[in-house]
Amino acid sequence: MLAVWQAIVVFFEMPAFILPSPVDVFDRLIERHSILLKHSWVTAQEIMLGLLFGVSLGLLFALQMLLFKPVKRWLLPLLIASQAIPVFAIAPVLMLWLGYGIASKIVMAALIIFFPITTCCYDGLRSTPVGYLDLAKTMGASKRQMLRHIQLPAALPALASGVRVAVVIAPIGAVAGEWVGSSAGLGYLMLQANARMMIDEMFAALFILSVLSITLYFVADWLLKKMIPWEM
Amino acid sequence: MGRSITSLVVTVMSANPAAPVSQSSAIRIAISDGYLRYHDSQAATLTGLNIEVPAGAWTCILGRSGCGKSSLLRYLANLLHDKVDWSGELTTEPHCDLQHHIAYMAQQDLLMPWLSVLDNVMLSTKLSRAPRSTAIRDSQLAQARELLHQVGLADKADYLPQQLSGGMRQRVALARTLMQDKPVVLMDEPFSALDAVSRYRLQNLAFELLQAKTVVLITHDPQEAIRLASRLYIMQGRPASAESLLLPLSQVPRAIDAECAGLQQTIMTRLALDYE
C-alpha cells in the first residue's frame, strides 16, 4: 500500500502540500520525533483518563438503573440526550468551562464512550441467566450477594464488549476536543501543521494517532481476554 | 460401601456446626389438594394434587414436558412465591420452613463459568449469610475437596467448568448440592441432558451419595423413575394432578428386570395418551 502511495505521488507529480510521499512523512517522523512524542503523550493521557472516567461513570449509571427502577425513568432520557447532542456542539461550552487544558478533552472522551458502556453494562446486568439467579435464591443469597457474586461477574463479558467499542471511539472524543481548542496534543499539532501547509507533519501525527488507537485496542482486547477467560 | 457412606454423612454434618438441629433429620413432605395457577395465566396448572414424599427416600414424579411438574418443584423451592396463586395444604414433618432446608439441582448444571470447579462446589458457602471464621472456611474447603473426590473429580478442582464434559459438569453440580447438606434435595431432570451411559452412572452415584436425604426427582424418563423411585407418581391432565403408581418390590436402585420393563411399557402407554 505504501508502495502504491509512493508510486501515485511520483507518477502524478503530486505537490507535497496536497499529498506528501510516505518517504517525506517518514523523514518528518524522524526529524520531529521529540515534538511528536510530547504531543502524543498529551493525547494518550486524555484518552486513558477519559476511558477510566467514562467506564466508571457508565458502570455506575448501569448499576443505578438496575437497582433503582425509578432512576432508570429519568436517567434514560438524559442518557439519550447526551448522545443526541453531538459532542462537537458541546465542545466549545466545555472549553469555556474547563479551559484549554486536558480536562475538557477528558470529559469529551468520557462523554463519547459513556453511552455504549452504560447500555452494554446494563444489558449484561439485566440478562443474567434465570437459572443462576434461581440457584442463588435457593441457596439463600441476599440481594447484595446476588449482585456481587452472580450478576456482576455474569455481566463482565457484556461490559467487555462495551469497553472494546469504547477504546476505539475514545480517541475521536479526545482529538475532536483538541481541534476545538487546545494548546497541546496530536489534534492541536495537526491543526497547526495544516494551517502552515506542513502536510507531511500532519500525516505523521495522523500516523501516530492510528498506531496509538490500534495498540490501545489490542492491549485492551488482550487484557480483557486474560481477565475473562470463560468468554468464548 | 454402606459403611463408607454412613461415615461420609457423619463427617459432612459435623463440619457444619452452625446448622440447626433439623438439618440432620430427614423431612417428610405432604401436599393435599394442591392448586397452582400462574398470575399471568387464565387456566390452573395444577389442581387436586395429592403427593406424599416419604422422609429419606426418593420420590419420582413422571410426566410429559409442560405438564406442570417443574412448576411443582419450583414452588417447593420457593421460586414462584410471587408469581402464582397457591391453595392447598403443604405439610412438613418435622414442621419447618421448607425453603431453608432444600437444595436444588436443575437440568442445566448451572456452574458459574467464572468460578473454578472447587469454587463452584463452595458457592453455597459464599452465598450463605452466616459469618465465616478462618477455621470454618478451612473445614469447608476440605469438605469440598472430599466431595469432589467422592464424585471422582478430585484432580479437576482448579479447572474451569468449560473445560469439562457434560457428565463431569453435572457431577460437579452434584457435589455442589451435597455441599449444601440440606435434608431435602429437589431435582429437575438433572440427568436428562446426558448420554445413556453417563446418565446411568450419575444416577447410581447420586443415589449412593444422597441416601440419607429426602429426594424429589422430576423426570420424563419412565426408566429413570422406575430405577430410582421408592415412591412413584405420574402427573397427567390439564390442569394436572398426580396419581401414585405401584412399584416392584425389588431394592432401589433397581436393575431393569422383566417386571420393571413391564411397568415401563404400561407407563409409556399411559403417557402416550397425553400426546394425542
CA distance B158 to chain A (A): 14
Taking the Cβ of residue A227 and every Cβ of chain B, the question of whether any pair is shorter than 8 Å is answered with no
Q: What is the pLDDT of residue B24?
A: 53
Rank A5-9, A88-92, B91-95, B214-218 by mean pLDDT and report only the highest. B214-218
pLDDT at B129 over 80: no
**Cβ contact B112–A150 (<8 Å):** yes
CA proximity to B202, closest of B230, B176, B247, B172: B172
Residue A167 banded pLDDT, cuts 50, 70, 90: very high
Decide if pLDDT at A137 tops 70.
yes
Q: Residue A140: which of B100, B110, B112 has the nearest Cβ?
A: B100
What was the pLDDT predicted at A232?
53
Mapping DSSP onto H, E and C, the string for chain A reads CHHHHHHHHHHCCCCCCCCCCHHHHHHHHHHCHHHHHHHHHHHHHHHHHHHHHHHHHHHHHHHHHHHCHHHHHHHHHHHHHHHHCCHHHHHHHHHHHHCCCHHHHHHHHHHHHHHHHHHHHHHHHHCCCHHHHHHHHHCCCCHHHHHHHHHHHHHHHHHHHHHHHHHHHHHHHHHHHHHHCCCCCHHHHHHHHHHCCCHHHHHHHHHHHHHHHHHHHHHHHHHHHHHCCCCC
A113, pLDDT greater than 70: yes
Q: What is the pLDDT of residue A55?
A: 92
- Contact between B47 and B53 under an 8 Å Cβ cutoff? The reply is no
- What domains appear along chain A, each with residue ranges and CATH number? 33-227 (1.10.3720.10)
What H or E segment, with its residue span, contains residue B59? Answer: strand B58-62
Q: Do A138 and B77 touch (CB under 8 A)?
A: yes
Q: Pick the residue from chain A with its C-alpha nearest to B113.
A: A230
Q: DSSP per residue over B162-174, as a string?
A: GGS-HHHHHHHHH
**Chain A residues touching B77 at Cβ < 8 A:** 134, 138
Cβ contact, residue pair A140, B128, below 8 Å: yes
Q: Are A177 and A105 in contact (CB under 8 A)?
A: yes
ipTM of the complex: 0.80
Q: Which of A128, A133, A135 to mutate to probe the B interface, most B CBs <10 Å?
A: A135
Would you tell me the crossing angle of helices B166-180 and B134-150 to the nearest 10 degrees? Answer: 140
The nearest CA of chain A is from the CA of B130 a distance in Å of 10
- Residue range B146-190, pLDDT digits in tens: 888 888 888 888 888 888 888 888 889 988 988 888 888 899 888
Neighbouring-strand partners of residue B243: B234
Q: Are B83 and B39 in contact (CB under 8 A)?
A: yes
Predicted confidence band of residue A218 (pLDDT cuts 50, 70, 90): very high
Tell me the residue length of chain B: 276
Confidence tier at B6 by pLDDT (50, 70, 90): very low
The pLDDT value given to residue B21: 39
Q: Does residue A139 belong to the interface with chain B, where contact is any CB pair within 8 Å?
A: yes
Distance CA A43, CA A174 (A): 7
Sign of CA dihedral A112, A113, A116, A122: negative
C-alpha to C-alpha distance for A173 and A95, rounded to whole angstroms:
13
Chain B residue with Cα closest to A153: B114
Using the 8-state DSSP alphabet, how is residue B76 labeled? H
Write out pLDDT tens, residues A89-99. Answer: 888 888 888 88
Which run of H or E residues covers position B13?
helix B2-14
Q: Is the pLDDT confidence value at A42 over 70?
A: yes
What domains can you pick out in chain B, each with its CATH number? Answer: 1-16+55-81+182-276 (3.40.50), 115-181 (no CATH)
Nearest Cα residue to B77 out of A135, A142, A133: A135
* The pLDDT value given to residue A51: 92
Element (H, E) at B85: strand B84-93
Residue-wise pLDDT for A6-40, tens only, equals 888 888 877 777 778 888 888 888 888 888 889 89
Give the closest of B114, B123, B160 to A139, CB-based: B123
Is it the case that residue B17 has pLDDT exceeding 60?
no
Is residue B267 classed as helix, strand or coil in its secondary structure?
Answer: helix
Looking at the predicted structure, is the pLDDT value of residue B22 above 50?
A: no
Q: How far is CA B161 from the centre of its chain?
A: 21
Q: What is the pLDDT of residue B1?
A: 39
Q: Please give the Cα distance from B108 to B246 (Å, whole number).
A: 30
For testing the chain A interface, which of B112, B125, B129, B163 should be mutated: the one with the most A CBs within 10 Å?
A: B112
Q: Which long-range contacts (CB under 8 A, 24 or more apart) does A127-131 make?
A: A127/A158, A128/A154, A128/A155, A129/A154, A129/B110, A131/B106, A131/B108, A131/B110
Q: Which helix (H) or strand (E) holds B73?
A: helix B69-76
Dmax over CA atoms of chain A, in Å, equals 76
- Contact state of A230 with B162 under an 8 Å Cβ cutoff: yes
Cross-chain CB nearest to A139 (options B108, B114, B180): B180
Residue A140, chain B, CB below 8 Å: the answer is yes
Nearest chain A Cα to B180, which residue? A139
Q: What is the mean pLDDT of residues A54-68?
A: 89
User: Rounded to 5 degrees, what angle do the CA atoms A88, A93, A96 make?
Assistant: 130
Mean pLDDT within B105-113: 88
Closest residue on chain B to A231 (Cα): B113
Residue A126 scores a pLDDT above 80: yes
- Residue contact A141–B127, C-beta within 8 A: yes
Assign B16 a pLDDT band (cuts: 50, 70, 90): very low
How far is the C-alpha of A110 from the C-alpha of B71, rounded, in Å? 47
HSE-CB of B259 using CA atoms within 13 angstroms: 10
Nearest to B108 among A131, A138, A230 (CB): A131
Q: Can you tell me the mean pLDDT for A89-116?
A: 86
Distances (CA, A) of B42 to A214, B37, B38, B84: 57, 8, 8, 11
